[in-house]
Amino acid sequence: MGISKLTTDKVKDRMDIEEVISDYVPLKKKGQNLWACCPFHGEKTPSFSVSPAKQIYKCFGCGKAGDPIQFIMDIEGIGFQEAIRHLAGKYGIEVEEDETQTPEQEQAQNERESLLIALGFARDFFVKNLQTDEGKAIGLSYFKERGFSPAIIEKFDLGYALEGWDNLLNSAKKAGFQEDILLKAGLILEKDGDPSRRYDRFRNRVIFTIHNISGKPIAFGARILTKDKNQPKYINSPETPVYHKSDVL
């Protein structure tokens, strides 16, 4: 994101060195050029020259030189984009933002979309598991005991992760998901950093789906129901490119 090239071109066409600099220092004509006491270094006799013909300024005392954009950057202490905004404001030019992304931004965007699709698949998987024999016996009966109605269970995407190490991993791979995306989505774990030893993060637990503001699943919370002292009672998705705990909670 930034200012569109069209806006930058409009500013460049419209800007005038004399108009821009005389907003800051009074200019006096002498020969072809205009002169002032330099606004960048202290002086009593003018060594700061402005050439309307060349549309540049140059100080013979401190060496500062450039075009109107450079002048605004130097005197306001701002960057190129801000200088364009400043000049657009001066000349009443509407600033158009450029919607095109850099290749890096585009790649990150594509990755976030892939993660959301994988998380959506996992949500569907966990929700479906709740209707299996194991899911009904353990997960659904837990939700019912806690007073969750079928409508609430459906609305909040409550689900169940089956017992086993690779139920989700295998189903997702069969559906065409890459393991690296599942890993980045926080759905699977990797033992000792070994890509050949990947397994489901959520196992043998009831699943609470966490959604973003547009209602897409971005993470899961999970509670174990069996008495396994080696397992924490609650676990959650880690932070991922689509799940920042501080934003959601």
Region binding Zn ion by CB under 5 A among candidate stretches 16-24, 33-41, 116-124, 195-203: 33-41
**From CA 83, how far away is CA 146, in angstroms rounded?**
60
Region binding Zn ion by CB under 5 A among candidate stretches 57-65, 85-93, 140-148, 222-230: 57-65
Region binding Zn ion by CB under 5 A among candidate stretches 58-66, 69-77, 122-130, 187-195: 58-66
User: What 8-state DSSP symbol labels residue 1?
Assistant: -
Beta strand ranges found along the chain (DSSP E): 2-3, 28-30, 33-36, 48-51, 56-59, 65-66, 97-98, 159-161, 188-190, 198-200, 205-211, 217-224, 234-236
Least distance between Zn ion and beta carbon 89 (Å): 26
One residue of 62, 189, 225, 235 binding Zn ion per CB under 5 A: 62
C-alpha dihedral (184, 188, 192, 196), degrees to nearest 10: -100
Tell me if 50 contacts Zn ion by CB under 5 A. no
Region binding Zn ion by CB under 5 A among candidate stretches 62-70, 77-85, 171-179, 201-209: 62-70
User: If we measure between CA atoms, which residue out of 76, 103, 101, 100 comes closest to residue 90?
Assistant: 76
Show contacts with Zn ion in window 150-179 (CB under 5 A): none
**From CA 29, how far away is CA 135, in angstroms rounded?**
87
- Rounded to an integer, what is the distance from CA 166 to the centroid of its chain? 31
Tell me if 41 contacts Zn ion by CB under 5 A. yes
User: If we measure between CA atoms, which residue out of 71, 82, 9 comes closest to residue 34?
Assistant: 71
How many residues contact Zn ion, by CB under 5 A?
Answer: 6
Tell me if 36 contacts Zn ion by CB under 5 A. no
Residues near 90 by Cβ (< 8 Å), separated by ≥ 6? 19, 20, 23
Tell me if 38 contacts Zn ion by CB under 5 A. yes
Least distance between Zn ion and beta carbon 91 (Å): 26
One residue of 12, 37, 40, 156 binding Zn ion per CB under 5 A: 40
Tell me if 61 contacts Zn ion by CB under 5 A. yes
Residues that bind Zn ion (CB under 5 A): 38, 40-41, 59, 61-62
